[in-house]
Structure 1
Amino acid sequence: MTLHARLVVTRPAFTLDIDLRVEPGEVVALLGPNGAGKTTALRALAGLTRMSGGQIGLRGRPLHTLPAESRPIGMVFQDYLLFPHLSALDNVAFGPRCQGVPKTEARRAAAALLERVGLAGRAAAKPRQLSGGQAQRVALARALAVRPELLLLDEPLAALDAHTRLEVRSQLRRHLNDFDGVTVLVTHDPLDAMVLADRLIVIENGAIVQQGTPGEVARRPRTDYVARLVGLNLYRGLADGTQVKVDELLFSTADSLDGPAFVAFAPAAVALYRSRPDGSPRNLWQATIDGIERHGDNVRVHLDGPIAAFADITPAAVADLDLTPGQRIWASVKATETHAYPA
């Protein structure tokens, strides 16, 4: 049931051109900034957006020649799009009924799916009577009711508040674990992607710029967007052993390699000083504070200078250093916390 697709969608100011391969039982998340082409790719798979070229194969059969209603897919939309006049049970039974399943059998299957997603007691409720988390689970049950080979999820948690999102995310992961077909998920939320997906595919400007397991992508980002997503400072330079030249700075790193390289370190690894520290710590530079903001329980300091960087420090450290925007400051990162990998 492997999905193998090349999706090409050309518009006046934008072209999507990506190759996808997803194995049975695998959940792949398409991740990227707004306008990158994530939703266009999902809609092309569903047959809702016309492709300019390429092909879609599932289980060795072409899907791109089929109309949307004939493709073996289930889809959960961002706003769920439940039929407001139907109960939860009849929303779930709708797909099988359209496939010619008798009403009694379709409703029996729908009831089993609602029980599976923990909503057996809400079968008679209309969508307006459901919470956001309940509506999301009804939408998932409706998508699964047609017994799809390909499950498409478009920002499935975006409409939920933060508390509900936490609970529904873990439930959704369990349901996806039980699905033996192919799942493609679109999200802009890195936590949703990290928790729900087995593999991430990062799209920028209509092209794939990085892919791998969540751990691989988090450890070795390859674009500024991915670095921001996983909370790392990222630079491109030229490596010579354990040293990497980045613009006018020479970084000592924990890794040894030669040639074009990325250098990455966490904002929490950046130490700040009002005056040049004693001794000769490695990876030291002078910078100007460009901004200061709360970041979780810490404070994020935006640094400008030979490189732009983020430093995460405690509120107490901000007070002790008496930091203000526009101030000149010294920054350093230990070599053991500075990592390099091939560019």
Structure 2
Amino acid sequence: MTDLDDTTRGALAAGTHALGLDARLVVERGGFRLDARLIAAPGDVVALLGPNGAGKTTALRALAGLTPLSGGHLRLDGAALDRTPPEARPVGVVFQDYLLFPHLSALDNVAFGPRCRGASKAEARAQAAAWLERMGLAGHAGVRPRRLSGGQAQRVALARALATRPRLLLLDEPLAALDARTRLEVRAGLRRHLAEFEAVAVLVTHDPLDAMVLADRLVVVEDGGVVQEGTPSDIARHPRTDYVAQLVGLNLYRGRAEGHVVRLDGGAVLTTTEILTGPAFVAFPPAAVTLHRDRPIGSSARNLWRCEVAGLETHGDQIRADLTGELPLTADLTTVAAAELDLHPGAPVWATVKAAQTHAYPA
């Protein structure tokens, strides 16, 4: 997997670089409009993230040719695909439900693609056998889909997509149909196969962990447009919308910075260690919040707000408290701490956060 450097990005945008994906996907359907730019170099794995209805699946269907473009362009390795029918595109697709042919064996499912591309039956089956062996499924070549586990079916679907040697691989929620235990194992295998893939891969997922593990670059789509893109670490550290903040598990606020102080639109004030001037974001994890039933005396925390517990829920091995008041926020604490504080909906609390545990950056 490779990062898309500025030179490659600029060359692709100018249309002077022959390899990779250069797309501006404009799709208008009813009252919805998608307008998203996607640029990727060979070897890149790009994850499309976003809430339901944001346009992720529409973008994937447009790349596959299943949904026509209303505008923009789609170029792959320098060739325009805008008017190319789906079956003629060098594109492989792994659907959410895999869509394996139930009447064909795993071997013949994988051989289907090469056969459609003109390979003889013997040649296609030989290629399929090699792909199944690569996927660790050589012993399941004669098995039909209904007798495969979810993880095995996912690998057969991936092998079927890769057997045509696509220049663009599209994966629609590739792990969504798996149980939690199988998902962990299959995710590791999928990461290995994507790392070996020499062309462009684009995956749609609702799971931030899948995106962080599998992708080199994240593209976040909301209301039909790209709101943020970058490496997983950059997105996790610098969320720019509430959706992204929730995705990576951070409290996020926007205001105006004056030195170490950021004044929020709602009137609250946050003290940070960074020195900024102008529009700024401030983020901090729920674990950085300390709760008190009485106003703390002598606390070293620079940030202090009076709040009220709006709700409590189990979050992993901790309790997550949703708070309203001077500053709406979420806080994570142990079950023991929650019991000692006698937390319940409607309980008044004081919330503190040390300046050193916040992170401020330009908006």
Q: TM-score range by the shorter chain?
A: over 0.9
2:180 maps to 1:159: no
State the AA in 2 paired with 1:140. L
1:149 matched to 2:149? The reply is no
SS in 1 for 2:275: strand
Matched, 1:201 2:215: no
CA distance in 1, matches of 2:253, 2:223: 20
Q: Deviations over 1:128-182 (max 9, x none)?
A: 0100000000000000010100000000000000000000000000000111000
How high is the TM-score relative to the length of structure 2?
0.94
Once the two structures are TM-superposed, the CA of residue 51 in structure 1 deviates from its matched residue by 1.1
User: Map of 1:155-194 to 2, 5 A cutoff?
Assistant: 155-194=173-212
Which amino acid counterpart does residue 327 of structure 1 have in structure 2? A
Amino acid corresponding to residue 324 of structure 1 in structure 2 = H
The Cα of 1:307 is off from its aligned counterpart by 2.1
Does residue 51 (structure 1) correspond to residue 57 (structure 2)? The answer is: no
Q: Whole-Å Cα distance in 2 between the matches of residues 12 and 240 of structure 1?
A: 45
**Within the alignment, does 1:338 sit opposite 2:358 as a pair?**
yes
Q: Map 1:110-129 onto structure 2 (within 5 A).
A: 110-129=128-147
Amino acid paired to 1:195: V
1:264 aligns with: 283
Which of the residues 289, 296, 300 maps onto 2:320?
300
Distance in 2 separating the partners of 1:294 and 1:65: 50
Q: Which residue of 2 aligns with 1:218?
A: 236
Q: Secondary structure at the match of 2:66?
A: coil
The answer to whether residue 288 in structure 2 is matched with residue 288 in structure 1 is no
Tell me how far apart the structure 1 counterparts of residues 326 and 279 of structure 2 sit (CA, whole Å). 19
Residue 55 (structure 2) aligned to one of 37, 40, 53: 37
2:293 aligns with 274
Gap runs ≥5 in structure 2: 1-18
CA offset at residue 3 of structure 1? 0.3
Match in the other structure for 2:329: 309
Of 86-95 and 303-312, the range deviating more from structure 2: 303-312
Residue identity in the other structure for 2:96: Q
Aligned equivalents of 1:304, 1:250: Cα separation in 2: 15
Candidates 228, 241, 252, aligned match of 2:271: 252
C-alpha distance in structure 2 between counterparts of 1:15 and 1:138, whole Å? 35
Q: For residue 6 of structure 2, what is the aligned residue in structure 1?
A: none
Partner letter of residue 107 of structure 2?
L
What aligned pairs does 1:48-87 form with structure 2 within 5 A after superposition? 48-87=66-105
Number of the residue aligned with 1:236: 254
Whole-angstrom distance in 1 between the partners of 2:324 and 2:290:
15
Distance 1:52 1:341 in 2: 37
Moved over 3 A (4+): none
Q: Which runs of 5+ in 1 are unaligned?
A: none
1:124-143 matches, cutoff 5 A = 124-143=142-161
Which residue identity is paired with 1:330?
A: W
- Which residue is 2:46 aligned to? 28
Distance 2:324 2:271 in 1: 20
The Cα RMSD (Å) is: 0.7
Which amino acid letter does the alignment assign opposite residue 336 of structure 1? A
Distance 2:273 2:112 in 1: 57
Distance 2:275 2:121 in 1: 66
Name the count of aligned residue pairs. Answer: 343
User: How much does 1:316 deviate?
Assistant: 0.6
Q: What is the CA–CA distance in structure 2 between the aligned matches of 1:75 and 1:301, rounded to whole Å?
A: 41
SS in 2 for 1:261: strand
Please list the CA deviations of residues 52-94 of structure 1 after superposition, one character each: whole Å capped at 9, or x if unmatched: 1111001111011200000001100000000000000000000
SS at match of 1:236: strand
Question: Could you tell me how far apart the structure 2 residues matched to 1:6 and 1:290 are?
Answer: 43
Per-residue CA distance 1:256-311 (angstroms, 9 max, x = gap): 11100001000000000011100263110000100111110110011001221000
**Equivalent position amino acid for 2:314 in 1:** R
Aligned residue type for 1:234: L
For 1:118 and 1:191, how far apart are their aligned partners in 2?
A: 24
TM-score (norm 1): 0.99
Q: Quick one: distance in 2 between partners of 1:13 and 1:59? A: 33
